[in-house]
Chains A and B, each alone.
Chain A
Amino acid sequence: MCLGIPGEVVALDIDRPGMATVSVAGARRQINVMLVEEERVQPGDWVLIHVGFALAKIDEEEARLTLSHLEEMGQAYRDELRAISQSRID
């Protein structure tokens, strides 16, 4: 109900400015994009949708950074484990 989920903008509504078609894994809905007007969303952009409105444009670079930070954390962890197991062998 009060959910916010990421959706991909597939088309801007030419007849009704401020409305766009957004797809969530192929389920499509008309969404009001006036709250993210300044982001000038285009087809291909991703937005956070909540009760029929886009509240924010998803920053794909930030998403990538968050994940890569977690990946690095994971890598550091795996390195640590490897170092520990190697030191045991010695």
Chain B
Amino acid sequence: MTERTEQDVLERIERARRRRPRVTDERITLSHGSGGRATHTLIDALFLEAFRNPFLEPLEDQAVFSVGGSRLAFTTDTYVVSPLFFPGGSIGDLAVNGTVNDLAVSGARPLYLSAGFVLEEGFPVSDLRRIVAAMAAAAERAGVQIVTGDTKVVQRGKADACFVNTAGIGVLERPVHLSVSTAHPGDAVIVSGPVGDHGITIMLARGELGIESDLRSDTAPLTELVGLLLDAAPQTRFIRDATRGGVATICNELAEASGVAVVLDEEEIPVRPEVRGASEILGIDPLYVACEGRFVAVVGGDEAGPAVEALRSHPDGGAAAVIGRIADDPPGLVLVKTGFGGMRIMDMLVGDPLPRIC
């Protein structure tokens, strides 16, 4: 019997990771909402298992289908952020921008949103007014209309103040077929701006950790930036907005779905000093922290330069950068070249460092 080598063990682990996940937990825990591995397992093994159909299977952030000759994109998102109001915006801004962005990153022009509210008995009407005003302003800025909605009220204690769900429809006028499974070795990975602003802002706004800063949420519509990107880089493979789980999660999803390695260069990833500082204090990695107005895109290697230049021409894209490349080996893994010159793995998020951030 041969001695087990390190390589044998690593290969066995990779085989185990490729097996279909199952949900074995008896109860939902906060990990299921973090956007990391537990969330993915829940979606795959529970929701997809039950609902299975070709539109859902790609598990993109939106579904794309044709109706009467038009290609439409359709998405939904629910917002449970706490606190409701924070530097840079509110749950209202997230509810509009988040859904607009899920449409925009498929290459669609966002058109119409629905808005569903679950309100707790006792919730101040003045707060509701503020939220709704924010949604109206965000909708106007994003060029969408909120055309239908619903309101429910539950007894005190049965919902935390205010939850909002928005669903959105957009039309795909460009002949693009963006997908998480089409990255090729040699492609470049781009981020549209500094990462982690939103998640850290929320965490600090909760006040429990006693950390203060001048950070603001980065919530913003990405439609214009996506447009600039697709004009400059028609061979773009994939765009996704970096929400729960952050940039690292998207890269892992990409590596797994495309069967490639994503190799990031730590020094190239834009991070604001305060995000870095707060992350160091708390021992978390900014790459796992949510954004609400940033996307990660994969473009052909030779289109990277023009893509970044185009993004930087926009006020929201000043810090856009190429943060890594796609390689063929080791497939399914995300590697980070550290500033120090070493190499480390960046796995799918486990657990939930920041609950209820969007």
Binding site for B on A (CB under 8 A): 1, 3, 5, 7, 23-30, 49, 52
Contact B283 A1 (CB under 8 A): yes
Contact A24 B210 (CB under 8 A): no
Question: B271 — nearest CB in chain A belongs to which residue?
Answer: A25
Contact B210 A27 (CB under 8 A): no
**Residue numbers in B under 8 Å from A3 (CB-CB):** 280-281, 283
Question: A1 — nearest CB in chain B belongs to which residue?
Answer: B283
**Residue numbers in B under 8 Å from A7 (CB-CB):** 281
**Residue numbers in B under 8 Å from A1 (CB-CB):** 283
Contact residue among A5, A26, A30, A49 (Cβ-Cβ distance under 8 Å from B274): A26
Interface size on B, residues (CB 8 A): 16
**Residue numbers in A under 8 Å from B209 (CB-CB):** 29
Which chain B residues (114-169) contact chain A, with CB distance < 8 Å?
Answer: none
Question: Would you mind naming 20 contact pairs between A and B with Cβ atoms under 8 Å apart?
Answer: A1-B283, A3-B280, A3-B283, A5-B280, A5-B281, A24-B277, A24-B281, A25-B273, A26-B213, A26-B272, A26-B274, A26-B277, A27-B211, A27-B212, A27-B213, A27-B277, A28-B212, A29-B212, A30-B210, A49-B281
Query: A27 vs B276: C-alpha distance in the bound complex, in angstroms?
Result: 8
Whether a CB of chain A sits under 8 angstroms from the CB of B214 is: yes
* CB contact under 8 A between A25 and B210, given known A1-B283, A3-B283: no
Q: How far is the CB of B28 from chain A (nearest CB, A)?
A: 25
**Residue numbers in A under 8 Å from B211 (CB-CB):** 27-29
Question: A5 — nearest CB in chain B belongs to which residue?
Answer: B280
Q: Knowing that A24-B278, A26-B214, A28-B213 touch, tell me 13 more A-B residue pairs with CB under 8 angstroms.
A: A1-B283, A5-B280, A7-B281, A23-B277, A26-B213, A26-B274, A27-B274, A27-B277, A29-B210, A29-B212, A29-B281, A30-B210, A49-B281
Q: Which of A26, A27, A29 gathers most chain B CB within 10 Å?
A: A27
